[in-house]
Amino acid sequence: MWVIVLFTLLFLLIISLLFVPIELYVDTITNEYYFRLRGLIRADIEGHEKELIRIRLNLIFGNFYFYPLRTIGLSQKGKTKKNVRKKKGKRMGIGKVIRLLKTFTIKRLIIDMDTGDSLLNAKLYPVFTFLNHTMGRFSINFQGRNHLVLYIQNRPLNIIKSFVNL
């Protein structure tokens, strides 16, 4: 009896993970960059004094810090290269890539930019005005400000459906 209950709970947990939203957020003004599985995990990219960047990983049970640009410290002199044959696997075609990209939804897109060239800014002004009516919030300024906010969301179920072709 306990085994059936345990397998049922495990099955429900796996099914619920398929519906958890995956979020990617980028904001250049507040320097907020993160990847999140809502309620489970959040990975923030932060600046650091000694290292250039660090990744803060917030899990349900604690925080961890990773430094992706830190050198491992192994010397390359003692290593010898072996001839390793590359495995030939299935390559993802352009159709699958397009289907995968279509599963992502852009929840917020704000672009406020200045190219530094006033003539190019003037040429881009009508394009950004047209884009402003169709999607996102686009603006051209002549004051030297550059700002990007990008908030993308997806679900693991949508990613799986794009590969399975349901």
pLDDT tens column, 71-126: 765 555 555 556 656 666 677 788 888 999 999 999 999 999 999 999 999 999 99
What are the two backbone dihedrals, phi and then psi, of residue 144, each rounded to the nearest 5 degrees?
Answer: 85, 10
Mean pLDDT of the residues in the chain: 86
Residue that wins the pLDDT comparison between 3 and 76:
3
DSSP string, 66-129: E-TT------SSS------PPP--PPPPHHHHHHHHHT-EEEEEEEEE--S-HHHHHHHHHHHH
**Domains of the chain by residue range:** 33-69, 92-166
Q: What pLDDT, on the 0 to 100 scale, is given for residue 123? A: 93
Residue that wins the pLDDT comparison between 10 and 83:
10
Q: What pLDDT, on the 0 to 100 scale, is given for residue 2? A: 87
State the average pLDDT over residues 27-44: 92
Q: What pLDDT, on the 0 to 100 scale, is given for residue 93? A: 82
Q: What pLDDT, on the 0 to 100 scale, is given for residue 1? A: 86
pTM of the model: 0.77
